[in-house]
Amino acid sequence: MHTSGLLGRPLSELRIVKGRLMISQEEFLRFVKDYNEDYMLLLTRASRRHYNCLITSFMVLKDFYNMIQVLFDSGHYVYQTLPYPFSFRADKVLVRQLGFDDEAVENIFGFLAFVKETQGMEFEECLEAGTSIMCARVT
C-alpha cells in the first residue's frame, strides 16, 4: 500500500483539488479524535515518568495539532469535539479534569523539569528547536 507521508494515510484516502489537499469532514473529525487520544497517551506516559523520547513524541503531536488548526481555520470544517489545548504547562485544572490524580499531575509537571535538566532549555523551546532535539535518556 502506498502512503502519502501525511500521517501515513493511504493515498486512496486523500484527494487533491486544484493543487490543495482536501479531506472529508469525517476524516477531520477522526484527526481530532486521534489527536485527543494521542494527547492523553503522552500525558499518561508522563504521569508514569516514562519520559524517554517524550519530547520527540510531543513534537510530532504539536505538528498534528497545528495541522488540525490550519484545516479548521480554512473554514471548511467544524468541530464536534474540541482538540485538547496543546500546552499544559499552566493548566493543572485541565490535567486533573482529564482524570489524573495528584501524583500523576506531579509527574506530568515533573516532565517539564526533566526537559529543562536534560536539554538545558524549557519544554516549549525544545518544541521550537524541532528536530535538533533528540530523545533524552534518563540517567
Asked if residue 3 is part of any domain, the answer here is: no
**What three-state secondary structure class fits 37?**
helix
Identify the DSSP state of 14. -
pLDDT 10s digits, 29-53: 999 999 999 999 999 999 999 998 8
Q: Where would I find the beta strands (DSSP E) of the chain?
A: 15-17, 20-22
pLDDT at res. 129: 83
Asked if residue 10 is part of any domain, the answer here is: no
Secondary structure of 16-27 in HEC code, one letter for each residue? EECCEEECCHHH
Number of Cβ within a 10 Å radius of residue 100: 20
Look up the domain containing 43 and give its range. 24-132
- Determine the average pLDDT of the residues in 82-97: 86
Q: What is the pTM of this model?
A: 0.77
Residue 59 grid coordinates: 513534537
Q: Tell me how many domains the chain contains.
A: 1
